[in-house]
Chains A and B, each alone.
Chain A
Amino acid sequence: MKPQFEIKDINIINDILASDEYDSVKIKSHRILF
């Protein structure tokens, strides 16, 4: 039986972080941290 989530699926994390709207999240996060 195929597992629900495979190691290769971790790519989705990088994909999410590459999303257009996520750009502004990163900028804001840095402002909070620093």
Chain B
Amino acid sequence: MIYIIRHFKVKDNSKIWLNSREFNDWVEKYDLFELEYLNIYLPSKIDKAYVSSQTRAIKTAEHLGIAYQISDLLAEVKSKAFINTNIRLPKWLWLFVDRVLWYFNVTSYENRDMTHKRINEFIEKIDLSDDIFIITHGFFMKQIVRKFKSLGFLGDFDIRPKNGKIYELAKR
């Protein structure tokens, strides 16, 4: 069984309109913002827990009080300004364009192929017959769940993963 959870929700009150430098700064700071902690019931049996190396995921693991291993392979796909400009654009536009460029593999940093490569690398490192608990991030979770499903795992998921909700994937 694979249990996968998106870290607790980040409290973010930063401004909407950002230039490229402000956007990149915000992405860095985003990982350090406070979280909205929840008390949730954990699965009765967890053989191994893997947690993204980003602060918000580690804080989530600490709050849950589980023994875990940190993995860079579970980090959120990095967002970065697609142009350098002093013109302020809405955050959603920065994010949207950046992800579309990721999808078409035209980003100079992490692109879609690279994300799939690290997903494969992670899956090669784990034993899929164990009961595994994973703490990761929204966009990355969508990608890794798609991969697990292609390997024969089944489970119900929300279109947009909810923070702090445990999703289960069972082998068919």
Query: Is there contact, CB below 8 Å, between B79 and A21?
Result: yes
Interface size class of A (residues with CB under 8 A): 10 to 19
CA gap between A4 and B73 in the complex, in Å? 29
CB distance from A21 to the nearest CB of B (A): 6
Number of chain B interface residues as a range: 20 to 34
CB distance from A12 to the nearest CB of B (A): 5
Q: Which residues does B use to contact A, with CB under 8 Å?
A: 7, 9-10, 12, 14, 16, 26-27, 30, 56, 76-77, 79, 90-92, 95-96, 99-100, 103, 137-139, 141-143, 159-161, 163
22 contacts between A and B (CB under 8 A): A12-B99, A12-B103, A14-B159, A14-B160, A15-B142, A15-B143, A18-B141, A18-B160, A19-B77, A19-B137, A19-B138, A20-B10, A20-B76, A20-B139, A21-B26, A21-B91, A22-B138, A23-B138, A24-B10, A25-B16, A25-B92, A32-B16
